[in-house]
Structure 1
């Protein structure tokens, strides 16, 4: 019954009197779903707000005001409003001394806190509170926290993009700042200590390889990682890490978009394929580096390079043959000019034509040409393109059969008659049934066929074209997903809706 009520709570056709009854008898889970409805009256909003999860959602949607919240009785809801930047300053002062560390940690992540609250949180004895503040705070507070004695606070600060560049450089290099006095490892273990990656101690939360010999090695490495990843860290401070023995640090360097060309060129020759593959994603690399990576057979390098937005099109045929790109719209193809689109459409390489066919804004002439392509993978790629006629879609099915049926069914312009014939195709194509079950033009005839497939059944149960009597029967289905979908169906009869509330 609970799944049926959860589905009913999101049913857009639920009459207001039934919404009232559902709210009156709601539990916390049901209230959270009901809180998403757009038709709630102010009275219903207040009624649902008696549950914290629902109240938090209502706060995020801007449907609760400060007058609706008592921060002493509902600290989690007050925190949600502070996170939205609409809470009252006195709430922050109250929560800054809350006995629950979790509440103060959440408060530390809020922006625009009063100065006195920030100072209170910065001096908190719990490392988690100060670290959370360091992650989100402003530049002036970041400077003060950069000398915090605990390395975990500095690690969080290294990820803060508003921290001053001089602070980030010092955290990265360790120069000019006093060393940390403790870390999460030496807080718990006698040093020197290296955490066994296969540790079986009950309740142990240290990550694999966590280590400290007094210099907080593993946390320092994390500080370096965070600072290298932080775009606000000065380039001058990061470039020397190009030859660092840690592949984790070189990997972070490969993600940056502000490095000199010479550094990218060196990373393109890195011994670790993971780093070179990450570099292949970087939009800042120049054509000379792209040329180097195009011939790189290291794991994932060529596949990820194919997704580079600045890829010269002349590299595409080679990459299409060298790696499995899959059916996806590549950024470079998405930005291709009209002349380039014509060039790609005329490519002798069917994989290139298939990749072009992923665009959904092709000129009609090129779209129609690709729909007649002799290669099934090209036709499969173009089949969902809007604008194809019913005759064109039927022709593709006649030529290529089961290889293209699911994609034809996904075409937004597929007619009701076509969807019915696809649903009756033998042997059945299960992927096609799932597409039909969610298609706006699906008829009750086609949807009844979709109900015979376990994966398409929940989708069909939600479709408004399903006969109301069938929807009502599905409320007693053995699959909870089907029950929930049927209850959410806007065509569910009123009597069935009302019956669920008795």
Structure 2
């Protein structure tokens, strides 16, 4: 019964008086579904909080509660959610109250909130719990605050500063080298363990939350390494300071450089020959690559590198066409193809290579002449890519299905202009294609006859149960389905009769 109530709570056609009824019955799960209703009134939101206090957090983030609805002393978590959305500008006293909350997790959440009063920032920066200070260091938008915390005695705070894009570039450079900063005196490892200590990656202690491989011999080496990695990934770190790490023995530090879009060519060339394929794969998508390096990486022995290169925004089309046949780029519109000029689009569509035609067939804004020509392509992969394109006629879609059969049927079923008659016909295809039923079950134009056929497929059944074109008698029957997911989906169906909704909401069992 509970899953049916959760389904009702998500039903967009549920009358307001039945929403009130569900609020009066709500537990945590039901409250979560009710809090997401776009038609929930302010009065209903307040009533839901009275029923399930934990719902205040979700309601605040959903915008269903205002500052006038929340007492920060009684409901600090809801107050934190509103502070996270900027209400601190008009209610600075909330932040001052929560800055001294005895729960360090609340102070930690507060530290991530925007627009905190300066005195609250000072309080959090001096918090005895390092997690609170680190959270402030990570999220503050004030460069002077970040700069000040870069000299914090705890290395964990410095690591957070290194990841913050508001940190001044000179400070980030200092965090990379350590020059100009006093040595850190603590880290999470030496806070808890007698040094020297290396955390066993297979640690079985249930109360241990140290990262795998965390270590400290007095120099806080694993946290310093993490600080450098964070700074290298930070786009605010001066590239002049970062490029020195292109030859660093640590693979993770070299890897952190690979996606930086301001990399000079020499660093790109160095990383293009890195022994770690993951580094080369990340570099392959970097816009900083020039054509020479792009062509070199196109010959990389690792398929993941070539696949990543196919997504590069400036990969030459001749290279991309080769990659399409060797790198398994997937059924997706690639950035370079999406940006192709009309002339390039025509060239791809007219190519003798089906891989090139397939690439451009994934576009959904093709000129009608190009679209129609590709609809008659002899290669099934090209037609499969094109089949969801809007503007195709029923005759064209039907011809695709006849010529290429099971290879294209599922994609034909996704076309937004597929007619009810065609969708109904696809459900009767022999041999049947199971994915067709799942696509039709979610198609807005699916007729009742096609949806009834979809109910016979186990994976399409819960999707079809929620489709508003399903006959109301069938929807009502599905409420007792042995699969609770099907029953819950039926309860979400807006075509469920109101009388049945009411019966469910007031049922006692």
Shorter-chain-normalised TM-score: which range?
over 0.9
Whole-angstrom distance in 2 between the partners of 1:369 and 1:54: 55
Residue 148 in structure 1 maps to residue 149 in structure 2: no
Residue 396 to residue 353, structure 1, CA distance change in 2 (3 Å): same
Aligned equivalent of 1:266 = 270
1:106 to 109, 112, 115: 109
Whole-angstrom distance in 2 between the partners of 1:316 and 1:65: 52
Query: Deviations along 1:426-480, whole A, 9 cap, x unmatched?
Result: 2221100000000111111100110011110011000001010110011111212
Residue 449 in structure 1 maps to residue 453 in structure 2: yes
Q: By how many angstroms is 1:489 displaced?
A: 0.3
2:227 to 204, 211, 223: 223
Aligned residues: 502
Whole-angstrom distance in 2 between the partners of 1:329 and 1:383: 14
Secondary structure of the corresponding residue to residue 218 of structure 2: coil
Secondary structure of the corresponding residue to residue 163 of structure 1: coil
Whole-angstrom distance in 2 between the partners of 1:305 and 1:52: 50
Query: Deviations along 1:222-272, whole A, 9 cap, x unmatched?
Result: 000000000111111101001000111111111101121221122112122
Aligned equivalent of 1:206 = 210
Query: Deviations along 1:39-74, whole A, 9 cap, x unmatched?
Result: 223321211233344322322233322121111110
The alignment yields a C-alpha RMSD, in angstroms, of 1.2
Secondary structure of the corresponding residue to residue 132 of structure 1: helix
Query: Deviations along 1:381-409, whole A, 9 cap, x unmatched?
Result: 11111111111111111111111110010
Aligned equivalent of 1:279 = 283
Aligned equivalent of 1:249 = 253
Secondary structure of the corresponding residue to residue 49 of structure 1: helix
The aligned runs of 1:18-417 (5 Å cut-off) are 18-50=18-50, 51-87=52-88, 88-137=91-140, 138-417=142-421
Whole-angstrom distance in 2 between the partners of 1:266 and 1:8: 58
- Unaligned runs of 5+ residues in structure 1 are none
8 A contact 1:191–1:212 mirrored in 2 = yes
Secondary structure of the corresponding residue to residue 189 of structure 2: coil
8 A contact 1:185–1:216 mirrored in 2 = yes
Whole-angstrom distance in 2 between the partners of 1:197 and 1:11: 47
Q: Which moved more, 1:178-187 or 1:48-57?
A: 48-57
Whole-angstrom distance in 2 between the partners of 1:95 and 1:161: 26
8 A contact 1:461–1:485 mirrored in 2 = yes
Aligned equivalent of 1:488 = 492
Secondary structure of the corresponding residue to residue 116 of structure 1: helix
8 A contact 1:273–1:299 mirrored in 2 = no
Whole-angstrom distance in 2 between the partners of 1:332 and 1:458: 38
Whole-angstrom distance in 2 between the partners of 1:202 and 1:27: 31
8 A contact 2:475–2:496 mirrored in 1 = yes
